[in-house]
Chain A
């Protein structure tokens, strides 16, 4: 089954404790991205990657890191989480940026 998986689905953590949210797709898509969704603000892109070892900043990259060592995986790293990073996070992949995006199920992160 074609899918994008994210882990964990829910996470409560404390300020400053490094965390990683994993994202994996099995569709051989070259383009992957991370979004955060906040009430009243819609989905905002954090980082994207057009291929292995190629990553770039989206609209709200501050406080986040990513890596793309393999085509299928695109982890999101929060080196020192802060409460303003409490949000719903989605990973997405697509064959091309102008085509349909396939989203993972989301990760609800709470930073206290």
Chain B
């Protein structure tokens, strides 16, 4: 079993749709959680950190469920520019572990 698992997709959604991605992690000692965005094999860039209480940044909302060991990312009112691969990242004893990514395609 992979340490961090994501549905690779692709998720094809129309503009304006709400889409949610989930990520599960296997190590209960995981400490920090992030979502990164990667465009077309370019370098990953931090989208947002994920806090236990949940956090929101504009159209993006991240949630963490430690009991069930999953993280979610919700994107509201999808834009064409949201098309990318979203990487779930977990740290365990300071080591970063990346999921394989979920690809989102937003269509006009």
Contacts and interface: CB of A to CB of B under 8 A. Distances in A.
B42 A106 contact: yes
B32 A98 contact: yes
A43 to B, nearest CB: 4
Interface string B77-99: 00000000001000100111011
Contact of B96 (A45, A88, A105): A45
Contacts, number: 45
Contacts of A90: 43-44
Contact of B44 (A40, A97, A98, A103): A103
Nearest to A108: B41
Contacts of B20: none
A101 interface: yes
Interface of B: 4, 8, 31-32, 34, 41-46, 49, 87, 91, 94-96, 98-101
Interface of A: 33, 35, 37, 40-45, 58, 88, 90, 97-98, 100-101, 103-106
29 contacts: A35-B98, A40-B8, A40-B100, A41-B100, A42-B4, A42-B87, A42-B99, A42-B100, A43-B44, A44-B98, A45-B96, A58-B95, A88-B41, A90-B44, A97-B91, A98-B32, A98-B91, A98-B94, A100-B49, A101-B44, A101-B46, A101-B96, A103-B43, A103-B44, A104-B43, A105-B42, A105-B43, A106-B42, A106-B43
